[in-house]
Structure 1
Amino acid sequence: MAFTCATGKHRRPSRMKRATTKAVGAAALTTTGVVGAFAAPALAADTAAEHTGFTQAIEIGDTVAEQIDAQAAAQQQAAAEAAAQKEAEALAKKRAEEAEAAAKKERAAKERAAREEERKLLSAYVAPITGSYVSTGYKSGGAVWSSGSHTGIDFHASSGTAVHAVGSGTVVEAGWGGAYGNEIVIKMDDGTFTQYGHLSSIGVSVGQKVTPGQQIGLSGATGNVTGPHLHFEARTAAEYGSDIDPTAYLRSHGVKL
């Protein structure tokens, strides 16, 4: 059995219909953008609230983004500064190492130069008496010499004149030498021997190392002499009779006589 509404009477809209109608009306108003005198007060208030909240969300979002960008920029700046600092430290270290290497090289060069200079000094030869001359030559004849000839050369010198080692060597004799008076015999570094006779004073001892130009005694007139001078010999051995030409010997070592 069907029921129908009486003519002229209207049924109250159901709850679902009313809600649907309200939603459709609100949607239409929102779509057209028209909110006027016919809008319900509650709907207008809701729309304003929603609009205000959306604006605040945008503003907050912009602030957070700016903060993130600023933080990222700061991090990039810090990273760039750290990289620059690291590069500067590496460059400073490299320069320090280069400076140290250069200084080390310079020190080594100076040490080599000093050793070379020392070697030259030790290998150099000098005259036994500075500023003197040969007064009696090698192999000069005469009755004054027991062998019949001069086994060395004589340098002009008054008593007390400084006598020098002609080169580097080791003293093997230092004392009385008979006809030579006070004498010194030195074994040179090259294996030859030099002898210094008629000394008034001896300033070295056996076993002592001497260098070129070092004072070893004073000239005099001890032994078999007619006056003060220095008797100098070059030998192949320490003993008498092994003499070689002392003038040629000294000149071969660069000494000008």
Structure 2
Amino acid sequence: MPPTRTTGKHRRPSRRGIRPARVAGMATLATSGVAATLASPAFAADDSVRGAADTGLRQAVVLDDTLGERIGDQAEAQQSAADVAAAMERAEAAAKREAAEAKRIAEARAKEERAAKERAAREAERKRLNTFVMPVDGSFVSTQYHASGAAWSSGTHTGIDFKAAEGTPVKSVGSGTVVEAGWDGSYGNSVVIRMNDGMYTQYGHLSALNVTAGQTVTPGQQIGLAGNTGNSFGAHLHFEARTTAEYGSDIDPVAYLRSHGVSV
């Protein structure tokens, strides 16, 4: 059989032998109250840890609240900026609408003003074209209508004579169309105009002609120069009013001019 080894000086005790000793020591300490004393620092340490944990939690809560407030402030600032931007956009849109409306109104007014000016111009032109004037400016009737005498082949004057020196401008008394312009026997150089009212006017004894047949004329337009051509005894203008372009259809030229507002 193998030899029995005795526990010597240099031999470690077996764990089996130590564990009971520890247990026994702990039991002794527990009996003597030392275990309670040793346990107190452990409990104190637990309280300290618990206090540190509580403090950390409170700091975390405070930090969390502060961060939440900052986030809330940022959100409010962003919302405020968005509200301001939206208000500015609305204001700009309203300003654009107002500008567009003002432009539309201004254009409408300008259009109406142009239309009013055009109407006024047309009315003024209509009045001008319907206006009658004297055939010789600043003149007067030197021989009346139906004056009798041997100077006229019919025995009476078929028109009226206006005092006018040689070369004095002679004008159409109103608007119309020239139907004759040239030599006309005893009338000398003569112009006959069909007036817009359907009547005819004749201008005789002219020294020069400024219009031709077919030409339209307006009130006061120069048609020739006064003279002494044809059967005439001195420079003057012979003026007739007729119902046709032919000789013998004459009417009272003074009454005709006066009916159109001319002071003769």
Partner of 1:155: 162
**Separation in 2, partners of 1:143, 1:200:** 24
Aligned partner of 1:48 in structure 2 is 55
C-alpha deviations, 1:68-117, integer Å up to 9, x for none? 11111111111111111111111111111111111111111111111111
| Alpha-carbon shift at residue 39 of structure 1 (Å) | 5.0
**1:49 shift after superposition:** 2.2
Matches within 5 A, 1:108-187: 108-187=115-194
State the TM-score, normalizing by the size of structure 2: 0.81
Q: Which amino acid aligns with 2:226?
A: S
Shift of 1:44: 2.6
Instruction: State the AA in 1 paired with 2:128.
Output: L
* Candidates 100, 103, 109, aligned match of 2:107: 100
Point out the more displaced range, 175-184 or 50-59.
50-59
Q: Supply the distance in 2 between the matched residues of 1:133 and 1:83 (Cα, whole angstroms).
A: 76
2:129 counterpart SS class: helix
Take 2:138 and 2:55, find their aligned partners in 1: how far apart are those partners?
A: 123
Q: What CA distance in whole angstroms lies between the structure 2 residues aligned with 1:126 and 1:79?
A: 71
What is the aligned length?
Answer: 224
More displaced stretch, 186-195 vs 95-104: 95-104
**Structure 1: tracts of 5 or more residues without a match:** 1-8, 13-35
Q: TM-score, normalised by structure 1?
A: 0.83
SS in structure 2 at match of 1:40: helix
Cα distance in 1, alignment partners of residues 183 and 123 from structure 2: 38
Q: Partner of 1:170: helix, strand, or coil?
A: strand
Distance (Å, rounded) in 1 between the aligned partners of 2:47 and 2:204:
144
Matches of 2:53 and 2:237 in 1, distance apart?
Answer: 134
**Is the radius of gyration larger for structure 1 or structure 2?**
2
Task: State which of 60, 71, 77 in structure 1 corresponds to 2:78.
Answer: 71
Amino acid at match of 1:46: A
- 2:80 maps to amino acid: A
1:99 and 1:190 map into 2 onto residues whose CA distance is: 42
Q: Which runs of 5+ in 2 are unaligned?
A: 1-26, 31-42
1:167 to partner: Cα distance: 0.3
**Pair 1:230-2:218 in alignment:** no
Q: Deviations over 1:165-189 (max 9, x none)?
A: 0000010000000010000000001
Give 1:38 shift.
7.5
RMSD: 1.7
